[in-house]
Every structure is written in C-alpha cells, then in structure tokens.
Amino acid sequence: MAQLNLILLGPPGAGKGTQAERLVDDFDLPYYATGDILRAAVKEESELGRKAGEYMERGDLVPDEVVVEVVVDRIDRTEAEDGFLLDGFPRNPEQARALDDELSRLGRELTAVLLIEVDDDEVVRRLAGRRVCVKNGHLYHVELDPPKREGVCDQDGSKLVQRDDDRSDTVKHRLEVYRDQTSPLAQVYEERGLLRRFDGSRSTSEVHDHIRATLATLRLESEL
C-alpha cells in the first residue's frame, strides 16, 4: 500500500481532531480539515481562494463544487503524494461522489474511511461541558478536566466561558445536521468495503491503538 488516503468520519465531539493529530505523527500525513483549507485558500489569494472567500464573507455556505475544487487542489500537491487525512469532507453523498471522480482522474483511490462512533448523550456531555479561556483559548471541561478554580484559567487567570456552539441546544442541532447530511456516508462507504468503525466512548489511547492496528492490517493485506 503505497498511499494512505483516509477520511475521518464521526459526529461533533467524537474526538476526530485528537485522533487526527496522532495519525499525522504516526504516518506523516497532511491533515486537511475543510474549514482550515478554505481559510488557507483565501489567505493565499488564489483564484479558488477568492471564489471561496466571496461566499465566506457573506456568511453563506461554500457550494459543494467549490469545496471539492479546494480539497482536490490540496491532495494533488506534492505534500500529499504519499497520502492524506480528510476531516469534515465529504459532508454528504454528493461530495463523496465528486471526490471519487476527482481521485479517479488523479489515478488514486481511498484506502479507508475511519468512523468514530459516539452516542448523542455522550456528545452533549463532552461538548456542553467544555470551557475556553477568553485570553488564549486554553480548553477545560467541567467534569473531565476542570480548572483548579471554577471559572478561571489555570494558565493565564482569564475568565472561562462556554462557546455558543458548545451550548446544549446548539450541540443537539449540530447532531441533527450530522445525522441528516453526513451519517448516510457510513452506509455508502460500508457498501464499498471501505468503512472501519471505532468505539469513540473508549479512551483516546484505546481508540488510537485500534486505528493503528486497523491500518497496519490493511497494509499487510495489500502486500499479500
């Protein structure tokens, strides 16, 4: 298996970002989170960036075709010649089909789709309990990682607040959007034999070990 072309799937709060950091270290893969690469494209002031920026400035969703162009522009660069890790893309079956078409055009294919599963109650508990300091963005959790003094950052003494998108009602809405738009991708990729499931309720290290073992097995099978 010359390349590791991977997609991370899972609801908000599943721990995709944490696992992505570890996979990047493990396999030296470029990590492409949709929001990050859209902002990077805007900053580069490329034609694609200007196109995406027009929508973002108005607060509109960037159309699927533009998002696909931005993503493909990244995975077609030298930095991604040995593989990539996508997070937040594709978001729906239409984007998945477009990605397949573009990968085929580039003579590439997906290695696996890694789905981290966490039930809704646990997602709400994780996200609604998060607090962030207003000065430097240090993260805490009221249950899992509380500060020494309630409401005060241990590191810089600034006030801890709950972000709007971490409020319980907002988290529940985000989960509804995920179920409606993104969760159907699990069936799409399962039917193609690409989906691998991981229990996101387990510890970060256990999930990481399971993902590493799965990718090692895939590599061995490709060499047989």
- What positions carry a catalytic annotation? 16, 91, 130, 163, 174
DSSP H helices in 76-167: 93-105, 120-128
Q: What is the DSSP letter of 84?
A: E
Nearest to 44 by CA among 70, 65, 67, 63: 70
* C-alpha to C-alpha distance for 149 and 24, rounded to whole angstroms: 34
| Exposure on the CB side of residue 156, measured as CA atoms within 13 A | 12
90 prior amide bond cis, ω within 30: yes
- Residue whose structure tokens are 């039917």: 191
Pairing verdict, β 4-9 and 83-87: parallel
